[in-house]
Structure 1
Amino acid sequence: MTLDSSPVCKRRRFVAVSPMDSDSAKSRLAAAREKYGREIRVFETSLASATPRNASDIEETDDFYEFTAEDYFRISGTKKEDKYLKTKKIREAEEAARRAKMTKAVIRVRFPDNITLEVPFHPSETIQSLLDLLNKVVAHPELPFYLYTTPPKKQIKDTSQDFYSAGFVPGAIVYFACDVPKGDDGAAVSGPFLQEEVMSLQGLEFAVEQGEPTPEPTPESVITGPSAIPEQRPTDKKKIKPKWLKM
């Protein structure tokens, strides 16, 4: 699981969207949801947060392995929690309570052409359900592919694992790669990787959001009573000693 931490992000362009365009976007998204059984969002990934080509070759500096004060306090806090031994039944009950609170796992699949497919799942669903959806929306379902996380680059092999157990809750970013040897046909698979119908959904959620009426600001309360500003008293005149007064 990876999260975007780059300070450089792509700015969203705000354009005027008519109610008709917003309704059209809603109907197209609803049609896609009915066809694929999922809420699908497609958008372009900024180049700053795109997939690193050599993610597995990245080496950490020596500073990365230094034991800092933050690490010490984090470990100390963990030891304090472990001070009180809990039975297996109590730990299982606490884990079940934490799991019950999670109701959604938002998975983003990034493709080599910087296109991202966002789909929400239930945490109890398996990774195989994501693969089943990809087989319906990719442009070349006949070609073998696999998913991986980074860094470090790690292929997702256990597709029977649910999203909660895999650590993909409340959300995660996985990467799509074609499992085709480089020697075949002498060329790699190029985009687009999604079907044209799915690619047409790109940016529709922005049209829906901009088409929604913005709530009117509540008017500020008007004070009808007397002003709360205190009255200013006239300043005392400077006392001057008379000339006849001798000390």
Structure 2
Amino acid sequence: MINSQIRVFFNVPGSSVAEIDTPDSFYKLSGEEVRNEAKMRRERLEQSRLLIPKSYKEKQALAARQKYKQAVIRVQFPDGVILQGVFLPAEATGSLYEFVADALKQPGLEFDLICPAVPRSRVLPHSPNTGERARTLQDEGLVPSALLKFKPNETDSVVFTGLLDKLLEASEPFTAASS
């Protein structure tokens, strides 16, 4: 993580972040949307069957990975506060969890980071499964930027109490200029 670029925002009513918060029903696809998605997948499959040299495909993939040198990741908390950090695209998703855990008042709180992507939201992996390599921000489609949702796994003894006071003291309103 590029440490010097930590920012904290508080949500201003009517800001673009407030508009991003959509209900789960938004992610349910209609029959026509499912058919269109299937059609696009078939077309992509046909394109992938074209005789394109493997070296050319690898060169294109490398160029796409090198296009962005950093990723701006924002994490929105239940209280509307937004924590922003700048990361390298090759960093593991575990570094996001460490970044957020270091910013919490309650360090022992377990939580998930939710990527509210279409067609359905998904939990970012904390760490790789046994025998697998760690998933990177690039692998998860979080580059060049992403807004993740913080979901605490609260228990009777550990509850979400917010971010560290020193971070909240430096917070600023989230406006269109913050984007």
Inter-partner Cα distance in structure 2 for 1:156 and 1:79: 26
Give the corresponding residue for 1:107.
Answer: 73
Inter-partner Cα distance in structure 2 for 1:165 and 1:99: 10
With normalisation by structure 1, the TM-score equals 0.55
Inter-partner Cα distance in structure 2 for 1:61 and 1:205: 33
Unpaired segments ≥5 residues, structure 1: 1-32, 210-247
Q: How far is the alpha carbon of 1:63 from its aligned partner?
A: 4.9
Inter-partner Cα distance in structure 2 for 1:196 and 1:76: 51
**Identity across the alignment (%):** 23
Asked if the contact 2:101–2:107 (Cα under 8 Å) also holds between the matched residues in 1, the reply is: yes
Give the corresponding residue for 1:200.
Answer: 169
Inter-partner Cα distance in structure 2 for 1:83 and 1:59: 30
Asked if the contact 2:154–2:160 (Cα under 8 Å) also holds between the matched residues in 1, the reply is: no
Inter-partner Cα distance in structure 2 for 1:194 and 1:109: 12
Q: Per the alignment, do residues 60 and 170 of structure 1 end up closer, same or farther by CA in structure 2, a change over 3 Å counting?
A: same
Is 1:143 matched up with 2:117? no
Give the corresponding residue for 1:227.
Answer: none
Give the corresponding residue for 2:131.
Answer: none
Unpaired segments ≥5 residues, structure 2: 128-133
Amino acid at match of 1:112: P
Q: How far is the alpha carbon of 1:140 from its aligned partner?
A: 0.7
Q: Which one of the candidate residues 110, 118, 127 is aligned to 2:84?
A: 118
With normalisation by structure 2, the TM-score equals 0.72
Amino acid at match of 1:142: G
Q: How far is the alpha carbon of 1:172 from its aligned partner?
A: 0.9
Inter-partner Cα distance in structure 2 for 1:165 and 1:58: 22
Higher RCO (C-alpha under 8 Å, 6+ residues apart): 2
Matches within 5 A, 1:78-227: 78=44, 81-82=47-48, 84-151=50-117, 152-159=120-127, 160-181=134-155, 184=156, 189-191=159-161, 193-203=162-172
Q: How far is the alpha carbon of 1:84 from its aligned partner?
A: 4.0
Inter-partner Cα distance in structure 1 for 2:81 and 2:141: 23
Task: Give the structure with higher Rg (CA).
Answer: 1
Matches within 5 A, 1:13-92: 37-46=3-12, 48-49=18-19, 51-52=21-22, 55=24, 59-65=28-34, 67=36, 78=44, 81-82=47-48, 84-92=50-58
How many residue pairs are counted as aligned between the two chains? 164
Deviations 1:203-230 (A, max 9, x none): 1898xx9xxxxxxxxxxxxxxxxxxxxx
Query: Whose strand fraction is larger, Structure 1's or Structure 2's?
Result: 2
Inter-partner Cα distance in structure 2 for 1:172 and 1:178: 19
